[in-house]
C-alpha cells in the first residue's frame, strides 16, 4: 500500500509557475520583466527592486513570492523538474530563512485575514467627528488644538495603514473586490470596499472603495492635514472654529478620493468648497473677502459641467456606480464623448488649475492663512488631477484617445506661462502660486503623453512612465508646495512682508528659515535626489516617448524655473543684510517640526521613489491597457 502523496507546499509550487511563465517568453530579460510586473501588480515593490538591480535572481524571488500566494496546479511540474533540489535554490539566501525559521514559515503559510473594521468610513468621517469635538469641547484654545491634532494623526495612521496594505500585503491585508469589464482590459480591482443602500428609489448607494490612485492621495492628505494644523498653532482668533474647518475639509477631500458612487462624489465635491471659503474669508489677509468669493465662484461654477456629465453617465449607464461606468464605458463614441471630455476638462482644469482657468489661485493663496495655503496647494489642487484621471481617462477612454492633444496643449501652455510669470513676481506667496500653475501643467501633459503613447506601437513602456509621472507629480507637488507656503507664510508673519525686493541677507539672522527656504526651492526646481526631480523626469521620458523632440518645449521651463528660484534665493537669503531685519526672529519649534517632516519626505521619496512608483506603474499599465 503506497503512502498518500503529501500536501503541496507553496515553495514547491513556485518552480512550475516560473517555468510556465518562461515558456512564453523569448529570453531571460523578458522573464525578469514579466516577473517584475507580476510582483509590482500584486504589491511587492521591494521584490521588484531586488530583481531589477540583480540583487537576487528572479527565480529566488519567485520562490519567496509564490510561497505566499501558492499555486497547487504547478506542483507536479515542480517535482518533475527538481527545482527545489537545484543549486540555485539551495544556495539562495531565502532557503535558510524558510528552512530555519518556523515562525516565518507559519506566518507566510497562514491565510491572509483582511482588516475587519470599516477603515474607509473611518478615514472619511473621523475628521468630521473630530471637527465637532473640537468645536464643542474646545473649551480653551489649547484643548481645541490638541483634539484637532490628535484626530488628524489618527486619520494619518489609518491612511498609512491603507497604503501598507498595497505595499506589503504580508503586514496588512485588505479585502479586494474585482469588477469584470466588458473586455478583460477594463476589469478593475478595488480594496476595502464598503457598500450599503442609501436612496434605493434613485439607485443611489453608499459606496467607498480604494485603488492605487486614491490610496496614494489619501496618504498625502493624511500627511498634510496635521502639518497644516501644526503650522497654524499660533492662531489666536476663533481657534476651535479654525481647527474644526481643517478637519471638516479633510473629510470632504477623503470623501472625493474614496467615493465610488457619482451622487455621493458630487456631494463631497461641492461641500468641500465651504470650509476653504471660510478659512480664507475669516482668517485670511486684508483682501480676504474678495479672494474667498472669487475662489468660491470660480470653483462652484466650474462644477456645472461636472454635474451635467454625471447626469449623462447615469442616462447612458443606468447607474451612479462608478465601478460599473468604468468597466462598461457606456458613453457613445464621437461628439457626445468629446463634448463630455471638454466639459470635464473645464470642471477639473479649474480646480487643478490649468491655464486659462487659473486666475482665482494667486489671490486665494496670497490672502489665505498659512495652513489654508498648505492644504489649498498641497491637496485641493490634486482633486482636479484625480478627476481628470478618474473621469476623463477611465470613464471616457475613447474620447481621451481622440482629445489627448487638448490635454497636451493646455499642459504645455500652463508649464510655460506659469514659469515665465514667476520671473516677474515680487511677493513670495504669489511666486509660489504661479509656480503651482506651471508644475501642475506636468500633470495634464503626463496624462496626455500616457494616453497617446500607449496607443502607438512600441511606445507603451515610456507612455506608462509618463502617466505614472503625472500621478507622482501630484504627490511630489503636494509635499513641496506645502513647504514653500509654510516658509512664505512664516516669513510674512514674522517681519510683515513677503516681498523679495525688501528682504536681503536674512540667513544671517534666521538660519533655520533660510535653510528651509533653500531646500524647498531646490526641491521645487527639480534637484536630483529630491522628490520633484523624479516626477518631472518621469513625465519628460513619457513625453519624449509619445511626442519625440517636442519634449524640449517643457524641458525649457527647467531653466526658467531654476532662474526664478535661484534669483529669489540670492536676493532674499544671501547678500548684505537689510538693516530692517537686524532683530528678525527665526522659526519657532512649532514651525520647524512640520517643515522637518516635509524635508525628510523630499529625501525619502526622492531617493526611494520605487516605494510608490512600482505601485503606480502597475496600476497605470492596467488603466492605459483599457484604452
In the structure, what pLDDT confidence band is assigned to residue 500 with cuts at 50, 70 and 90? confident
Per-domain boundaries in the chain: 10-109, 115-400, 403-627
Handedness of CA 312, 318, 320, 326 (dihedral sign): negative
In the structure, what pLDDT confidence band is assigned to residue 71 with cuts at 50, 70 and 90? very low
Over the chain, what is the mean pLDDT?
A: 81
Least confident of 56-65, 465-474, 512-521: 56-65
Q: Say how far apart CA 246 and CA 380 lie, in whole Å.
A: 12
Q: For position 29, what pLDDT does the model report?
A: 42
Handedness of CA 171, 174, 180, 181 (dihedral sign): negative
Q: Specify the residue for cell string 480676504.
A: 288
SS (H, E, C) 181-199: CCCHHHCEEEEEEEEEEEE
Angle at 25 between CA 21 and CA 30, to 5 degrees: 100
Q: For position 341, what pLDDT does the model report?
A: 94
Q: For position 85, what pLDDT does the model report?
A: 57
Residue 212: name the closest of 471, 395, 531, 539 by CA.
Answer: 471
Q: Say how far apart CA 387 and CA 259 lie, in whole Å.
A: 12
* 3-class DSSP state of 429: helix
Average pLDDT over residues 198-214: 90
More confidently predicted of 33 and 247: 247
What are 239-291's pLDDT values in tens digits?
899 999 999 999 999 999 999 999 999 999 999 999 999 999 999 888 889 99
* Residue 520: pLDDT over 90: yes
Q: Specify the residue for cell string 489654508.
A: 372
pTM (two decimals): 0.81
What are 429-457's pLDDT values in tens digits?
899 999 999 999 999 999 999 998 888 76
Amino acid at each position: 500500500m503506497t503512502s498518500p502523496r503529501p500536501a503541496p507546499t507553496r515553495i514547491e509550487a513556485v518552480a512550475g509557475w516560473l517555468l510556465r511563465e518562461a515558456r512564453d517568453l523569448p529570453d531571460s530579460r523578458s522573464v525578469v520583466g514579466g516577473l517584475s510586473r507580476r510582483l509590482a501588480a500584486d504589491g511587492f515593490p521591494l521584490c521588484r527592486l531586488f530583481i531589477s538591480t540583480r540583487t537576487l535572481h528572479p527565480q529566488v524571488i519567485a520562490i519567496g513570492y509564490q510561497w505566499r500566494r501558492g499555486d497547487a496546479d504547478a506542483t507536479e511540474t515542480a517535482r518533475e523538474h527538481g527545482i527545489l533540489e537545484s543549486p540555485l535554490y539551495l544556495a539562495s539566501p531565502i532557503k535558510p530563512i524558510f528552512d530555519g525559521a518556523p515562525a516565518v514559515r507559519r506566518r507566510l503559510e497562514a491565510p491572509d485575514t483582511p482588516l475587519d473594521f470599516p477603515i474607509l468610513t473611518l478615514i472619511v468621517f473621523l475628521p468630521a467627528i473630530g471637527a465637532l469635538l473640537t468645536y464643542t469641547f474646545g473649551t480653551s484654545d489649547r484643548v481645541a488644538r490638541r483634539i484637532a491634532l490628535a484626530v488628524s494623526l489618527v486619520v494619518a495612521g489609518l491612511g498609512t495603514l491603507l497604503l501598507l496594505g498595497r505595499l506589503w500585503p504580508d503586514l496588512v491585508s485588505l479585502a479586494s473586490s474585482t469588477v469584470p469589464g466588458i473586455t478583460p482590459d477594463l476589469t478593475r480591482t478595488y480594496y476595502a470596499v464598503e457598500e450599503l443602500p442609501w436612496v434605493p428609489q434613485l439607485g443611489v448607494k453608499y459606496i467607498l472603495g480604494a485603488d492605487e490612485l486614491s490610496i496614494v492621495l489619501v496618504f498625502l492628505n493624511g500627511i498634510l492635514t496635521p502639518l497644516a494644523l501644526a503650522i497654524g498653532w499660533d492662531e489666536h482668533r476663533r481657534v476651535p472654529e479654525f481647527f474644526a474647518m481643517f478637519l471638516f475639509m479633510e473629510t470632504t477631500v477623503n470623501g472625493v478620493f474614496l467615493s465610488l458612487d457619482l451622487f455621493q462624489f458630487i456631494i463631497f465635491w461641492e461641500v468641500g468648497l465651504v470650509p476653504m471659503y471660510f478659512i480664507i474669508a475669516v482668517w485670511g489677509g486684508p483682501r480676504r473677502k474678495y479672494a474667498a468669493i472669487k475662489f468660491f465662484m470660480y470653483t462652484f461654477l466650474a462644477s456645472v459641467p461636472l454635474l451635467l456629465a454625471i447626469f449623462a453617465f447615469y442616462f447612458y449607464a443606468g447607474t451612479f456606480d462608478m465601478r460599473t461606468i468604468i468597466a462598461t464605458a457606456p458613453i457613445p463614441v464621437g461628439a457626445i464623448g468629446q463634448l463630455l471630455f471638454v466639459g470635464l476638462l473645464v470642471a477639473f482644469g479649474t480646480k487643478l488649475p490649468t491655464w486659462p482657468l487659473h486666475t482665482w489661485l494667486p489671490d486665494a493663496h496670497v490672502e489665505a492663512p498659512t495652513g489654508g495655503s498648505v492644504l489649498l496647494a498641497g491637496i485641493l489642487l490634486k482633486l482636479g488631477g484625480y478627476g481628470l484621471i478618474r473621469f476623463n481617462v477611465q470613464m471616457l477612454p475613447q474620447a481621451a484617445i481622440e482629445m489627448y492633444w487638448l490635454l497636451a496643449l493646455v499642459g504645455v501652455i500652463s508649464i510655460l506661462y506659469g514659469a515665465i510669470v514667476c520671473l516677474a513676481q515680487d511677493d513670495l506667496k504669489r511666486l509660489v502660486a504661479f509656480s503651482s500653475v506651471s508644475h501642475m501643467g506636468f500633470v495634464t501633459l503626463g496624462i496626455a503623453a500616457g494616453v497617446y503613447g500607449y496607443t502607438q506601437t512600441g511606445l507603451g513602456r515610456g507612455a506608462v512612465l509618463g502617466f505614472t509621472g503625472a500621478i507622482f507629480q501630484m504627490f511630489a507637488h503636494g509635499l513641496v508646495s506645502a513647504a514653500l507656503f509654510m516658509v512664505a507664510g512664516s516669513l510674512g508673519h514674522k517681519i510683515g512682508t513677503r516681498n523679495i525686493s525688501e528682504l536681503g541677507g536674512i540667513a544671517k539672522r534666521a538660519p533655520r528659515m533660510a535653510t528651509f527656504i533653500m531646500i524647498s526651492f531646490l526641491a521645487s526646481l527639480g534637484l536630483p535626489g529630491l522628490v520633484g526631480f523624479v516626477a518631472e523626469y518621469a513625465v519628460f521620458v513619457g513625453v519624449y516617448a509619445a511626442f519625440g523632440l517636442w519634449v524640449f518645449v517643457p524641458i525649457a521651463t527647467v531653466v526658467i524655473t531654476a532662474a526664478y528660484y535661484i534669483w529669489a534665493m540670492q536676493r532674499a537669503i544671501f547678500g548684505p543684510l537689510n538693516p530692517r531685519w537686524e532683530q528678525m526672529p527665526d522659526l519657532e519649534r512649532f514651525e520647524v517640526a512640520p517643515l522637518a517632516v516635509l524635508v525628510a519626505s523630499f529625501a525619502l521619496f526622492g531617493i526611494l521613489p520605487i516605494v510608490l512608483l512600482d505601485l503606480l506603474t502597475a496600476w497605470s499599465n492596467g488603466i492605459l491597457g483599457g484604452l
